Structure 1
Amino acid sequence: MDLRELFLKQKDFQRKRTRAVFPIIPRDKISWSPVEGALSVGQLLRHIWNSESGVREIPLYERFSYHERRVPLGLFAVLGDVTDIDHEIEMMEKTHSETLELVSQMPLERFEQEFQNEKLNFRRKGYAILFGIIEHEIHHRAQLLTYLRILGVPGSGH
């Protein structure tokens, strides 16, 4: 199994685990966050797909446009208004499918290629960037489950 196959398999596996959380998200808690300054429930979902869409552009196209905007402006500036949980879930699924398709066609050597941007002090290999997308989703899935547990949502303790 090469790095591409491993990435595609692991990304899909972790998305299945994230999908299990979607049905228990209370749609009326889109703006809820545990403390001022923390991402809301809806913003967490937006952040997962928005960052995936931007970060994948580095190994796919050698474009740093997401980071060039995100780093100086901050996270909240790139998220925009979030108004519909189901729309955010749809965008997560769309972005996930696109990532799988794009990476399946990406030249294998890009996994080992080093991508750098001196202005952003960024230097990583393609595989680290792509597997970081998976790690990022796992991290925010756990954060979302913590939010749901605080809210007392049944089924959030898995």
Structure 2
Amino acid sequence: MESIELLLLNFEEVRRRSIKVWMSVPEEYLGWKPDEKAMSCLEMVRHVLDSEHYYHLAILNRGSLESYESPFDSRPLISVHKELEMAEPLRKAFLATIKSFSAAQLADIIIDRSDVGYKRKLGDMLLRIGYHESVHTGQLLDYLRVAGVPRVKVWD
């Protein structure tokens, strides 16, 4: 398997497992959060989807964006299904961008996010994006544990 194919497989597997967790959250718990400063379950789903879009634009820009207008901000939080529906074309564009890179570009392109403390090669940045989603999926599983909600098995 080539490096781009492996990255795409990782993104697909991470998202498949995230969706499994997201869709398992009972409707009455979508607004639940462990404390007032935390994101709710549904806010966390939106955060992951919106962050992926932001990171996609940052990759295209080769660094942080000076201004970012989220396409999610004007939409009310309703359901996981609605969030996924909104994100679907953004996700397709993100994956198409990854497919457009060569293996050499994974090492040659530098993403400069000095404003938040790092510069990384494109390959590293792409792995960080998947890791970000994975961390929040684990965090959401913990939310469900704390709330006493049964959790789906993500290790299938």
The alignment's TM-score, normalised by the length of structure 2, stands at: 0.79
Residue 143 of structure 1 aligns to a residue whose secondary structure is helix
Task: Tell me by how many angstroms 1:116 deviates.
Answer: 1.9
Match of 1:111 in 2: 106
Secondary structure of the 1:124 match is: strand
2:146 matched to which residue of 1?
Answer: 150
2:63, 2:111 within 8 Å by CA — same for their partners in 1? no
Q: Is the 8 A contact 2:52 2:129 kept in 1?
A: yes
> Per the alignment, do residues 63 and 123 of structure 1 end up closer, same or farther by CA in structure 2, a change over 3 Å counting?
closer
Gaps of 5+ in 1: 71-76
After superposition, the CA RMSD in angstroms is: 2.7
Q: Residues of 1 paired with 2:114 and 2:6: CA distance?
A: 29
CA deviations 1:58-94 (Å, max 9, x no partner) are 33342522xx458xxxxxx997475212212323444
User: Which of residues 81, 84, 87 is equivalent to 1:89?
Assistant: 84
* Other-structure match for 1:37: 37
Distance 1:91 1:140 in 2: 19
Residues 156, 146 of structure 1: alpha-carbon distance in 2 compared, 3 angstrom cutoff: farther
TM, length-normalised to structure 1: 0.78
Structure 2, unpaired ranges of 5+: none
State the match for 1:127 in structure 2: 123
